[in-house]
Amino acid sequence: MRKKLMTHLAVKKMEKNEETNNSVSEESLKKQFEKLESDINTSIEKRNWRQNNLPKVEYPPLPVSDKKEDIKEAIANNQVVIVAGETGSGKTTQLPKICLELGRGVNGMIAHTQPRRLAARSVARVSLKS
């Protein structure tokens, strides 16, 4: 009888611990869900703000500006686009504008890289000319 009572008490204690653990887990999940919901709403607000506040794009007379339509087509139709041109041709300043005109930058950031190998070749070419 005593063994049966101790088993019964142990089972009750385990059940109580499970209920406590479940309520903590449920509370933790609820907080995580609320945080996720808040992050999603913040993201939607940022996207809408960017959509409504796009800058007016103007292009100065630079070689990249002259090839704007070709570059737009390449960006629209390819995941990766490599643009190589002389220093001062407008690659760094005009490519983000072209991306903006295509609607990029509303849902996220516009990023471009400048590989060192290309930069080094450009510098070497200028040095050889001197």
Domain range enclosing 77: 63-129
Buried b (16+ CB within 10 A) or exposed e, 93-103: ebbbbbbbeee
Q: Are residues 74 and 118 in the same domain?
A: yes
Q: What does the pLDDT profile of the chain (130 residues) look like in tens digits?
A: 555 655 666 666 666 666 655 566 888 899 999 999 999 999 999 999 999 998 888 999 999 999 999 999 999 999 889 888 888 899 888 998 999 999 888 888 887 777 766 566 665 565 455 4
Q: How far apart are CA 125 and CA 119, in angstroms?
A: 10
Q: How far apart are CA 28 and CA 36, in angstroms?
A: 12
- Amino acid identity, position 28: S
Q: Are residues 118 and 81 in the same domain?
A: yes
- How does pLDDT run across 82-102, given as a tens digit for each residue? 888 888 899 888 998 999 999
Number of domains within the chain:
2
Q: What is the DSSP string of 83-128?
A: ----TTSSHHHHHHHHHHHTTTTSSS-------HHHHHHHHHHHHH
Q: Are residues 71 and 108 in the same domain?
A: yes
Report if residue 41 sits inside a domain. yes
Q: Are residues 41 and 85 in the same domain?
A: no
